[in-house]
Amino acid sequence: MPLLDSAPLDVLDAYRTCEFVTLGRDGTPLAWPTAVWRRPDGTLLLSTSLAFARKALNIRRDGRVALLFSDPTGSGLEEAPQIFVGGHAECPDEIMTGPQGAEDYWRMLFERQPHSRSYLAAPMRLVMDWYYLRLLITVTPRQVVVRPPLPAAGASAAPAPASDLPGAAQLARFPTAVLAARDATGAPVLARTRPVPTPEGFAVDVPADCPAAPGSASLLVHRHDERLNHMHNALVRGELRETGGGPVLVPAKVVEPMGSGRASDAVSVLRSTRRATDRYLRQRGLTRPRVEWQEFRALAQDARRRAGA
């Protein structure tokens, strides 16, 4: 029996996104939101575009990864349990230009994220081809932990104090964040928590079944609407320290790959994604491959029929 069968699979499948963590070159756990498809054999399929290939490069260096299903927005579930999956990932250096081998994954994306179908229209192809040049990631679960949903903050909860810590402004816009750390063996772990700024850093509550050890760590905040639109994410990198009052993440750097929400950010993101895609290809001596637009369009049309829109 696949290890993943110990989790409530209907809940896992309903989640629109999960938090996915890989280990950076310096060992820092780096978490980002992503979509996942559960395969019948009990493995999990993810993908990343060449423009955001850092996850793939991290995996090729160290295959230890973890996923946390903890934001049920768009799932239709209320009080959904959180599901933590630790495992090993593989990401071959094979650029996928079409949906072959990942049809169910793409059909799911087109159905759950209707606006992504517009990327297939002729006027958008010139600026969005990078989105369809993908690397596939397969995760084999080795640990599954089911946690209750994080309790809602009480109405009497005091607002977080003002702070000039790096990342304080970004974290203050979200009620919770996801801590990405490492356990005593160096494997990545994840836990949703409510960071509270203190003079030392951000105090975090870590559940007993998340053996986060002192060392490099990060805090991820992200959001999307019911149709996987209006996305935003930010990562606060730093060091997790144990203090007399509990664990504290001392921040050092903030990363916002999609910008901070300004109207001008969209143009900057398009430029940076094209540059990153070109760089990935150039470093491997490859010419820019041609996207198999018709195959993607067929799946998008199928997803539209299924969704009735």
The pLDDT tens digits of the residues spanning 87-106 come to 999 999 999 999 999 999 99
**Residue pLDDT, tens place only, 176-205:** 999 999 999 999 999 999 999 999 999 999
69 token code pair: 């299903």
Integer Cα distance of 184 and 21 in angstroms: 16
Integer Cα distance of 77 and 80 in angstroms: 6
Q: Is residue 260 pLDDT above 90, yes or no? A: no
Residues making up the chain, counted from first to last: 309
Tell me what pLDDT residue 161 has: 75
Sign of CA dihedral 26, 28, 32, 34: positive
Is the overall model pTM greater than 0.85, yes or no? yes
Q: Is residue 308 pLDDT above 80, yes or no? A: no
Q: Is residue 262 pLDDT above 80, yes or no? A: no
DSSP string, 227-294: TS-S-EEEEEEEEEEEETTEEEEEEEEEE-TT-SS-TTHHHHHHHHHHHHHHHHHHHTT-PPPPP-HH
Tell me what pLDDT residue 258 has: 78
